[in-house]
Amino acid sequence: MKRLVPMLVIAGCLFMEGLAGAQEAAERQLTLEDIYSPDKDRRLDFSGEVPRITWLDDEHWLERTDAEDDGDGGDGGDGENDGVRLSRVDARTGKAEPFFDVELMTRALAALPGVTEEQAKKRARASRPTSADHGAVLLNFANDLFYYRYGSELARRLTHDPAPEVGEEISPDGLWVSFVRDYNLYLVDIESGRERALTAGGGPELFLGRLDWVYQEEVYGRGNFKGYWWSPDSSHLVYLRLDESPVAEFTVVDHVESPLVTEVTNYPLAGAGNPTVTLGVVPAAGGDTRWIDTSKYQPIQHLIVRVGWTPDSTKVVYQVQDREQTWLDLNTADRKSGSSETLFRETSPAFVNVTGEPQWLEDGSFLWLSERTGYQHLYHFDAAGKLLGQVTSGEWEVSSYYGVDAKGQQVYFAGAAHSPIAPQVYRVPLAGGMPTRLTANEGSHRASFNPGFSMFVDTWSDVRTPPQVRLHDIDGRELRLVAANKVAALERFDLGSVELLQVPARDGYAMEAMLIKPPGFVRSKRYAVLQYNYGGPHAPVVRNAWGGSRYLWHQLLAQHGYVIWMCDNRSASGKGIEPTWIAHRQMGVVELRDIEDGVGWLREQPWVDPERIGIWGWSYGGFMASYALTHSQSFNAGIAGAPVVDWRLYDSIYTERYMAMPQNNLEGYDKTSVVRAAADLHGRLLLIHGTIDDNVHLQNSVQLIHALQKAGKQFELMLYPKSRHGVRDRDQVFHLQQVMTDFILEEL
């Protein structure tokens, strides 16, 4: 018994040490609350504070910092923030001062009739400049437009109308504000407040200067409904006229409200009627519209996919594609007569992407991004469209164009010459030649150059590191660290190792892949695998860049003992457009073949449990997950979020680019349909959809549900009322991540 006491003491000490160790281990285990809690006081900050920088002149920039910016660009989060901080920063020293007097602006706004103190305070705190000189801001709230010049004691209420204004913009000379109201284009004089309509006759079936659903979603950018463009000299505006009468309506129903709330949208399905599009020029002073001559194109069969002006404001520059987007014409049109000329036509063995607008140089020539070789590169043309030379070349692509220096001799861009999964910053002589790499760190870089091209700000991240910001001179030498962005929350957790690798497809093609292994990975164990996939044309998920909340959720699953696998099928890779052409007219077929080859490589690894492999994805990734579960036996379970289940159910412009019209590719639509293959479902399926999704309509999931039920197939379903294509509400985001986590833990 005498020996029992010290043994008890030792045991007690060991117990306390074990308890402390358990508490420490628990501290190092990620939870859903850490990443997604609706309570921001419980949700940890994993992305830190990264300033967004806009150069004001060669020596100063405007620095914007938003709170609660997740930084992953994903579907999670509702975008809530605690306001915006704007500072004027000396680039070289980092000395910062407030960009404007928030209290002064608040008082100026609050003095306006109909504006509450709370509205004024909120808008002032969220303010950021929208004028060309960065000196003024245009605000849209309280169902009207407001203008404020920074440093002024006077704000202006520009509109007084119950109808909402959309697509508002300050003219290049800063004297006018343009906007669309009730489908017509308007101007208001900032100084006098006088308003004039530039068009008449617009309505729900005739959009004048305003984009319809499909043009904003697929052509000019999601959320951008502005369908007009100022001339550089502010004398004229060119605008799109969209006749919606050929387009069928689609109704989205909000079942939460009582009585039901419905949204009716003109939504052109693949093969069905498209809007008829024309292009007109109207003087800012008012007057008749001069219509651009597009008579050589069939009205119902062409798309106008980019619009702009020559620098001297004499010509409209516009791009036209055929409906199935097999070619693209770059045109100019005389502002006065409307007569058009085609500078050149881009063609392709499959489809032609819109790559941007001409980048005009001081001598009247322009730079142009083209994928004509299968890889996106820069070309130099004269004003008449004659090719002067190819600026960049090789089996890699230019991803972003930054500009040309003042002497017009060096072109700056980001590209994949070093790595297809991590863009670097380069310069190259305008005459062409070997690019010079200006950034050194492995990982992904995004640059912002000052106007004189003597310095640039580099935003960098890699798979393990949230974005950091540095200032460099024009030769790439680091001048100072702007934002180290050390995220303390990441140091609290034991995260799994991340590996970037290449795996061969059956024909030897090297596919880019990423592995996240569980902490304490043991090669002798067998692990379940979850593959995250998107798979859509030229849309990789394997990147050597910070992945935000999605990356952290994958790490959470890794801590639960799962291997996370990402492998870009060749048509989804960032290795140029050429590998994407293989998916033309058969989306899903060749993607799945590559995905299965990646899974085949996994199955050869001794640490993979071949009976526990799952797949998940959202949107196109949801299509690929549901397609894989109905056209393959490689997966035991899958999560399909907001999937397209038959390409006949999606919009015309996106679908026909890759699949052609159903009338011209019936076989392709049939063999890529998930609905038609519902009886072949293999493995457990969790289907998720927002009930008011106006992009991939709930109709997709409902048709798949019906087909699965008719085939006697069991599955799980989760709907998110009041959610669109992405779930944004914080409470619903947390619920969504819990549902997906539980499904994976149970089924794999």
CB of 599 within 8 A of CB of 515?
Answer: no
Q: At residue 522, what is the residue type?
A: V
d(C-alpha 318, C-alpha 332), whole Å: 6
Q: Calculate the dihedral angle through the C-alpha atoms of 701, 706, 708, 712, rounding to the nearest 10 degrees.
A: 160
Residues 6+ apart with CB under 8 A from 483: 49, 50, 51, 467, 468, 469
- Collapsing DSSP to helix, strand or coil, 221 comes out as coil
Place of tokens 């017009």: 408
Torsion angles phi and psi, residue 18, rounded to 5: -65, -40
The pair of three-digit structure tokens given for residue 385, joined into one six-digit string:
């469209």
CB of 697 within 8 A of CB of 622?
Answer: no
Q: Which of 733, 605, 734, 630 is nearest to 684 (CA)?
A: 630
Q: How far is CA 202 from CA 25, 215, 291, in A?
A: 64, 17, 16
CB of 339 within 8 A of CB of 351?
Answer: no
- Helices then strands, counting H and E runs in the chain, come out as 12, 42
DSSP 292: P
For residue 144, the surrounding DSSP H or E stretch is strand 144-149
Which burial class, exposed, middle or buried, applies to 19 when counting CB atoms under 10 A from its CB (0-12, 13-18, 19+)? Answer: exposed
Buried b / exposed e over 226-262, threshold 16 CB at 10 Å, is bbbbbbbebebbbbbbbbbeebeebebeeeeeeeeee
Which residues face 155 on adjacent strands? 148
Cα angle 455, 487, 549 (rounded to 5 degrees) comes to 100
Q: At residue 198, what is the residue type?
A: L
Q: Calculate the dihedral angle through the C-alpha atoms of 405, 410, 414, 417, rounding to the nearest 10 degrees.
A: -170
Can you give the length of the chain in residues?
748
d(C-alpha 698, C-alpha 719), whole Å: 9
Which residues face 331 on adjacent strands? 318, 342
DSSP 273: P
Annotated active-site residue 47? The verdict is no
- Collapsing DSSP to helix, strand or coil, 34 comes out as helix
Which residues face 241 on adjacent strands? 208, 278
Which burial class, exposed, middle or buried, applies to 99 when counting CB atoms under 10 A from its CB (0-12, 13-18, 19+)? Answer: buried
Q: How far is CA 454 from CA 242, 436, 450, in A?
A: 44, 15, 7
d(C-alpha 617, C-alpha 569), whole Å: 14
**164 preceded by a cis bond (ω within 30 of 0):** no
d(C-alpha 626, C-alpha 613), whole Å: 14
CB of 313 within 8 A of CB of 328?
Answer: no
Please tell me which residue in 234, 554, 693, 697 is annotated as part of the active site. 693
Which residues face 252 on adjacent strands? 263
Annotated active-site residue 400? The verdict is no
Torsion angles phi and psi, residue 2, rounded to 5: -65, -30
The pair of three-digit structure tokens given for residue 371, joined into one six-digit string:
């994928």
Cα angle 233, 315, 198 (rounded to 5 degrees) comes to 60
Torsion angles phi and psi, residue 657, rounded to 5: -60, -40
d(C-alpha 454, C-alpha 465), whole Å: 28
Annotated active-site residue 75? The verdict is no
d(C-alpha 533, C-alpha 625), whole Å: 8
Please tell me which residue in 47, 131, 461, 619 is annotated as part of the active site. 619
Catalytic residues: 619, 693, 725
